[in-house]
Amino acid sequence: MADDWQNKLYFGDNLDILREHIADESVDLIYLDPPFNSNATYNVLFRERSGEESAAQITAFDDTWRWSMESEFAYQDVVSNGPQRLGRLLAAMREFLGQNDMMAYLTMMAQRLAELHRVLKPTGSIYLHCDPTASHYLKLMMDAVFGYDNFLNEIVWYYRGAGVPKKSRAKRHDVILNYAKKNGEQFFNPDPIRQPYAEATTERFSHYIGNVRAGQDYGEQKLNPKGKHPDDVITHIQPIAPSARARLGYPTQKPEELLANIIAASSNEGDVVLDPFCGCGTAVAVAERLKRRWIGIDITHLAISLVRHRLRDTFGEDLLPYEVVGAPQDLASAEALAVDSENDGRYQFEWWALGLVDARPAGDRKKGADAGIDGYINFFDDNSGKPKRIIVQVKSGNVQRNQIATLKGDMEREKAAIGLFITLKPPTRPMAQEAASAGVYAPEHYPDRQFPRLQILTIDDLLSGAQADYPRLAPQATFRRAPRRRGRQGAQGSLG
């Protein structure tokens, strides 16, 4: 592993990050699970759109794509400047599909797949995770970008599930498209992911089985002592149950075992693993555990905060240093984020600010009126097991005394122990006086400590290292905590 390498977590559009930060042929393994609105009906996805629509961006959990001028520009970029086969394919798809959500999705994916091909090493491979709604289109696109002769597998991840439709078969699988950069040169080691042979197979091979072909005796056939060679259907890994400890609240979260199956077999220790849609960071966490280097990219500060918490909770002091690129580091960049309307700036700023105090967003805040609560922190100050709550309000514009008075009312309504007001602008003297009038919080098990019941922190304070003041009898449980693992493991011993 190179001494000068540092793992990186990028905030931003992965197309820009790939073009500006990731060098040619520098990545050993790519896994991507691009957001897609698989819950939408097929007819809605193919419906023609009239008028100007919002740009095809992914913000938090809203993963619907829309045809817009941005899609048009992306389409023209691929057809004019992209790989020739990809451009011709995309033009044919537009002729067939028209201008709709599916075409917007495929156009944006085309740009990114071309960049992913560029950054992949000749010995590398890519795994594209998708569902059957778009897998057939994506396979054509992968053929155009990577070459049909570099296709390795269409892996079927079969899983159990609830719900049975009345007029169709139950949907019980995802598709993972696996391509090499150069077929025959890709790294692949099946040993870490071999599974036990079926009992009937073991029984059959307990007796002598000859191997005579075309009149030549090749000796006795034997089973591999390490287990069965992996095939293209995965049945032994199940999705994360809604109530499972491993679930972190991200709707598209995949089980770590599935990512370990891919990373352990298609990379070596020290190799670079890239996830350009890293979400809650499953690929990043597994790469860290298996001693791979990693690059994660996501377009929301919400995801970046979740990944940071996950890495900290999982590895603790064993976590190797990594760099977060693209998040504000000073007051000027924080102000720029707050006014950046192109990236849904108000809520990106809000999610970033909440991450500074380890607060969880209160809900989907992209639309609708401000409900007065932007986030919350759960904490424990006794042994009852019942969390106390801090409600958090974030303001990026001008602030005034009545906002503090409103937060006091919200605290009473929500029965919150403490209120936290985070502001980009300096608070006024009347605001500080109003906050002081809320009094103090005096927990029973901290007889010598009192905590301001309503606290005001500026972004400048937080960037300088200040934090909310509240009891910490036990680890705060604002985010669902990732299960703690002992150390960083090699591939052979990590899959159990």
Cα–Cα distance for residue pair 180/29, rounded to 1 Å = 10
Residue 207 within a domain: no
User: Are the C-beta atoms of 16 and 73 separated by less than 8 Å?
Assistant: no
Contacts of 171 (CB under 8 A, 6+ apart): 132, 161, 165
φ, ψ for residue 58 (rounded to 5)?
A: -105, 120
CATH, residue 76: 3.40.50.150
Element spanning 263, H or E? helix 256-266
76 and 116, same domain (yes or no): yes
In the 8-state DSSP scheme, what is residue 354?
H
Separation of CA 296 from chain center: 8
Which tokens belong to 356?
Answer: 């500074």
Cα–Cα distance for residue pair 274/254, rounded to 1 Å = 16
The SS3 assignment for 298 reads strand
Residue 436 within a domain: yes
Residue 204 within a domain: no
Residue 299 within a domain: yes
270 and 365, same domain (yes or no): no
288 and 371, same domain (yes or no): no
**Burial class, 73, CB count within 10 angstroms (exposed 0-12 / middle 13-18 / buried 19+):** exposed
Tell me the pairing of strands 440-441 and 375-379: unpaired
289 and 435, same domain (yes or no): no
246 and 368, same domain (yes or no): no
In the 8-state DSSP scheme, what is residue 228?
B
Pick the last residue of a domain from 325, 355, 382.
325
Element spanning 361, H or E? strand 360-361
CATH, residue 373: 3.40.1350.10
Residue 459 within a domain: yes
Which tokens belong to 286?
Answer: 């597994």
Residue 67 within a domain: yes
Q: Which residue has the tokens 């990028």?
A: 10
373 and 420, same domain (yes or no): yes
Report pLDDT for 68: 85
Nearest to 489 by CA among 293, 314, 311, 290: 290
Report pLDDT for 161: 79
Tell me the pairing of strands 375-379 and 360-361: antiparallel
96 and 146, same domain (yes or no): yes
314 and 280, same domain (yes or no): yes
Which tokens belong to 156?
Answer: 């079927």
Residues 53, 54, 55, CA angle at the centre, nearest 5°? Answer: 115
Residue 132 within a domain: yes
120 and 41, same domain (yes or no): yes
Total number of domains constituting the chain: 2
In the 8-state DSSP scheme, what is residue 385?
S
Task: Convert 77-104 to b/e letters by CB count within 10 Å (16 or more is b).
Answer: bbbeebbeebbebbeebbeebebbbbbb
252 and 138, same domain (yes or no): yes
134 and 185, same domain (yes or no): yes
Nearest to 269 by CA among 29, 78, 433: 29
pLDDT tens string for the chain (496 positions)?
Answer: 455 789 999 998 999 999 999 999 999 999 999 876 443 433 333 333 433 332 322 343 344 567 888 899 999 999 999 999 999 999 999 999 999 888 999 999 999 999 999 999 999 999 999 878 889 999 999 999 999 999 999 999 999 877 788 899 988 899 999 999 999 999 999 999 999 999 999 988 888 887 778 878 777 888 999 999 999 999 999 887 766 666 665 667 899 999 999 999 999 999 999 999 998 899 999 999 999 999 999 988 888 888 988 898 899 889 999 999 988 889 998 898 888 745 555 578 888 899 899 888 876 444 444 467 898 899 888 877 788 999 999 999 899 999 999 999 999 999 999 999 999 999 999 999 999 999 999 988 777 889 999 999 999 999 999 999 998 764 444 445 566 565 556 544 333 3
- Between the two ends of the chain, the Cα-to-Cα distance in Å is 25
Pick the last residue of a domain from 325, 343, 358.
325
Report pLDDT for 60: 38
Tell me the pairing of strands 322-325 and 451-452: unpaired
Residue 483 within a domain: no
Q: Cα dist. 160→226, 236, 237, 241, 496 in Å?
A: 27, 10, 10, 11, 21
Q: How many CB atoms lie within 10 A of CB 363?
A: 11
317 and 349, same domain (yes or no): no
**Burial class, 479, CB count within 10 angstroms (exposed 0-12 / middle 13-18 / buried 19+):** buried
Provide the residue type at 221 as one letter. Q
Report pLDDT for 250: 60
Give the domain range for residue 336: 331-463
